[in-house]
Amino acid sequence: MQLTIVGGGGFRVPAMIDVLARSRAGQGAYASLDVDRVVLYDTDARRLDAMMAVLSSLDFPHSPTVRATTDINEALPGADFVFSAMRVGGTCGRVLDEHCGLDNGLLGQETVGVGGYCYAFRSLGPALELAHAAKRLCPDAWLINFTNPAGIITQAMRSVLGERVIGICDTPIGLVNRTLNALDIPEEERADVSFDYVGLNHLGWLRSLSVGGRDVLPRLFADEAALGSMEESRAIGTDWIRALGALPNEYLFYYYCHREAMARIHQDQTRGEYLRDQQEAFYNAVLSEPEKAGRTWIDVLADREATYMAEARDVDERSGRRAEDIAGGGYQKVALDLMNALATNTPARMILNVGNSDGGFSSIPTLRDTDVVEVPCDVDASGVHPIPVAPLSGAALGLVQSVKACENLVIDAARERDRTLAWQALALHPLVDSVNVARDVLDQAIRTNPLVAAAFGKIGFLDRALYDYRQHGDNVLGAKKGGALSEMKRRLGLSGESLKEMNEKSGAAYRALFLQAEEFRRQYGKELPAEAKKTLDDFLALQHKTRIGKAVGILRGGFTFNLPHRTLGELLFL
C-alpha cells in the first residue's frame, strides 16, 4: 500500500513514519495496517532533504520505503491514500496573514477570522490543482486533508473529487478524550463511548458524551475540580461552559473571549513568528549537522507541543501545556485512525469534516448539501458514514450559519478571482466590526503577500525582458532617493530609525520578495529556460543560508544593487 504525503517536507512527517514502522512490525494500534511505500512530495527540495536526514538519523526499524520528489506527476501514481498537508507560502505567509488582522485592530490567527481567510485565499488555488492532479493520476485514492483552514479547503477539493476527500482535525476528538480523562473513565469502559458533536471546523460543541449508554457531561459540569482541569475551561471559564450546557471547541476561545485573546496576542510574539523562527533554525541545524537530525527533531517537537495556543492560557502556563491537555494525539493520529479504518475494515467512530448530506440526511438542515460540516462518523472499509446528531439551534446555529456563509464567499472569491466577494467574506465575519477595515485588510493582503495577489490575478509572466522604463535623474518612485552617506547612516541605525525597526522592515520586505519568487516559480517555472530557472532557484536558496553564505550567494549570483554602497549595505546587514 502506498501513502503519498503532500507537504512531505513538513515537520510532523517523522511522527507518521514512526507509527507506520511500528504497525509493520505488528505493534501499536495499527497492527493490521501495512503501508510499505511512502512518497514525500514538496515544492521545497531543501525541506525534503531535511526530512530525509531526520528519517535517516532516527532509522526506524521496519520503516516503509520512503522516497522524496518535487514532481507531483511522480508522487501521486500508485497512491492508495494521499495526505494533503501543504502550507502554501510557509510560515512567512502565515506571519503576513496574522499581521493583516493585527495591523488593522483585528484578530490575527491562522484559521479564525481574517487571518484564516487570507490563508485560504493563497491556498485554494494549489489545493484545487492537487485535487485535479489526484483525479488524473490516482482517481481511486482517498484524500485526507490536513491543510488549514480545513473546512474551506476540504469543501473546495470535494468539488473535484467528491466524497473521497475527508477533512480532519485533532481538536474535537481531543476534547472527547480530555473529558474522559477529567472524569477518570477507565480504559476498559471506553470501548462503549458515543458522542454528540456538531459544528464547523474550529467551531463546534460537544453536547453529550455517553459511556455505556449514560451521558457523563452532567457529572462533569457538577464537578468543579474535574471541569476546571480541562484546557477549554481554563481558557473560557467554567461558569460560561455551564451556561452553554455544552463543551466548546478550544477555538471558540477567540469568539467567547475575543478581547482577552487580542490583548494576549498583542503582548506576545505571534504564533506564526514563533514557528517561522523555530523552523528556520530547525531546518538550518538539520542540514548543517545531519548526523544529529533525529535528536534535533525530537527536541523541537517537544517545544512546539508545549507552546500550542499559548494565548489561551494564563501567563504562568504559557511555556508549557499540562500532560492531560495533549489528549488527541495530533493530526497524524486522526489521519492514521481514518486510514486504518478504511484500509483494514477496523470500525472506528471519529469526528470528521464531511459533506452536510453525506449520510443521506442533513446534519445541519439550514446549510447546503455540499457545505462541509464537522460531525461524528462511523468509518470502515465501505467508507465514511455520518451519524445523525441532535438539531443545532439558537445562537450556536446562528454563529455556524454566519461563518459558513463567509466560508462559501471565500471559496467563490478564489474560484472567480473576485475581490468584491473576498471583501464581503472578510467584512461579514462575526469578528470583523467594520466593512472599511475589512477592505483595508484585503488591500494589505494583496499588497504585502504575493500569494494572495496571485489568487486575484495580480501576478503575471512576460517571456521577454522589459526595457521601456527607467528611473532618471531626480525622479521619485515610491520613496525619496538618498545618497551614499544617508543610506549607510540608515543601515547603521544612525538616521533616527532604530536597528530593530529597520531590521523588521527589511525582513518583511525580503520575505515578501521570496514569497513572490516562490509563487512565480510555482506558476511559471515550467515556462522558464533552464538557465533562468537555475537563477531563480539560486535566489530562493539565499533565504536559507547563513550570513556569510548569503553574501557569497549574492555576489556569485549577481543579485546586487546598482550602486556599490547599497550592495555593501546588503552584504553587511541582510
Cα radius of gyration (the chain): 25
pLDDT of residue 557: 79
Band (pLDDT 50/70/90 cuts) for residue 241 is: very high
Lowest mean pLDDT among 211-220, 482-491, 494-503: 482-491
DSSP line for 328-348: S-HHHHHHHHHHHHHHH---E
Question: Among candidates 175, 215, 214, 212, which has minimal Cα distance to 192?
Answer: 212
pLDDT of residue 149: 96
Q: How many CB atoms lie within 10 A of CB 192?
A: 11
Band (pLDDT 50/70/90 cuts) for residue 476 is: very low
pLDDT tops 60 at residue 482: no
Residue 148: phi and psi, rounded to 5, are -90, 160
Q: pTM of the prediction?
A: 0.82
338-388 pLDDT, tens digit per residue, is 999 999 999 999 999 999 999 999 999 999 999 999 999 999 999 999 999
Let me know: does 204 contact 197? Beta carbons within 8 Å.
yes
DSSP line for 202-237: TEEEEEEEEETTEE-HHHHHH-HHHHHTSHHHHHH-
Sign of the CA dihedral with 227 first, then 233, 239, and 240 last: negative
pLDDT of residue 145: 97
Lowest mean pLDDT among 63-72, 221-230, 564-573: 564-573
> What does the block give as the cell for 348?
472506528
Let me know: does 432 contact 421? Beta carbons within 8 Å.
no
Q: How far is Cα 242 from Cα 247, in angstroms, rounded to an integer?
A: 8
Q: Which long-range contacts (CB under 8 A, 24 or more apart) does 240-245 make?
A: 244/205, 245/207, 245/221
pLDDT tops 90 at residue 215: yes
Residue 249 DSSP SS3? coil
pLDDT of residue 571: 59
Summarize the confidence of residues 281-290 as an average pLDDT: 92
Question: Among candidates 386, 382, 374, which has minimal Cα distance to 167?
Answer: 374
Let me know: does 24 contact 34? Beta carbons within 8 Å.
yes
pLDDT tops 70 at residue 309: no
pLDDT tops 80 at residue 472: no
Q: How far is Cα 108 from Cα 104, in angstroms, rounded to an integer?
A: 9
Let me know: does 160 contact 370? Beta carbons within 8 Å.
no
Summarize the confidence of residues 460-481 as an average pLDDT: 48
User: Residue type at 435?
Assistant: V
pLDDT tops 70 at residue 481: no
Residue 86: phi and psi, rounded to 5, are -75, 150
Residue 344: phi and psi, rounded to 5, are -115, 0
pLDDT tops 60 at residue 497: yes
Residue 4: phi and psi, rounded to 5, are -110, 130
Let me know: does 390 contact 206? Beta carbons within 8 Å.
no
Summarize the confidence of residues 2-22 as an average pLDDT: 95
510 or 284, greater pLDDT: 284
User: Residue type at 235?
Assistant: A
572 or 420, greater pLDDT: 420
The number of helix segments (H) and strand segments (E) in the chain equals 25, 13
515-543 pLDDT, tens digit per residue, is 778 777 777 777 777 888 888 888 888 88
Q: Strand locations in 409-535, DSSP E?
A: none
561 or 179, greater pLDDT: 179
Band (pLDDT 50/70/90 cuts) for residue 485 is: low
3-state secondary structure string, 379-421? Answer: EECCEEEECCCCCCCHHHHHHHHHHHHHHHHHHHHHHHCCHHH
Q: How far is Cα 120 from Cα 153, in angstroms, rounded to an integer?
A: 7
pLDDT tops 70 at residue 160: yes
Tell me the residue length of the chain: 574
* Bond preceding residue 149 cis, omega within 30 of 0: yes
Q: How far are the Cα atoms of 17, 18, 23, 39 from residue 64, in angstroms, in the given order?
A: 8, 10, 10, 10
Residue 46: phi and psi, rounded to 5, are -65, -45
In the chain, % of residues over pLDDT 90:
65
Summarize the confidence of residues 433-455 as an average pLDDT: 93
pLDDT tops 90 at residue 457: no
Summarize the confidence of residues 457-482 as an average pLDDT: 50
Q: How far is Cα 361 from Cα 91, in angstroms, rounded to an integer?
A: 39
pLDDT of residue 459: 59
pLDDT of residue 552: 79
pLDDT tops 50 at residue 159: yes
pLDDT of residue 521: 77
Residue 5: phi and psi, rounded to 5, are -110, 110
Q: How far are the Cα atoms of 21, 24, 63, 77, 384 from residue 37, in angstroms, in the given order?
A: 11, 11, 9, 12, 24
177 or 270, greater pLDDT: 177
Q: Please, which residues have CB within 8 angstroms of residue 443's CB and are 6 or more apart in sequence?
A: none
60: left (phi over 0), alpha (psi -120 to 50) or beta: beta
> What does the block give as the cell for 572?
553587511
In the chain, % of residues over pLDDT 70:
83
Band (pLDDT 50/70/90 cuts) for residue 566 is: low
Q: How far is Cα 200 from Cα 402, in angstroms, rounded to an integer?
A: 11
Q: How far is Cα 202 from Cα 351, in angstroms, rounded to an integer?
A: 12
Let me know: does 205 contact 249? Beta carbons within 8 Å.
yes
pLDDT of residue 494: 61
Q: What angle do CA 456, 266, 311 make, to 5 degrees?
A: 100
Any idea which residue has 469543501 for its cell? 155
Question: Among candidates 383, 358, 385, 377, which has minimal Cα distance to 369?
Answer: 358
Band (pLDDT 50/70/90 cuts) for residue 546 is: confident
pLDDT of residue 323: 47
Question: Among candidates 403, 395, 362, which has minimal Cα distance to 246?
Answer: 395
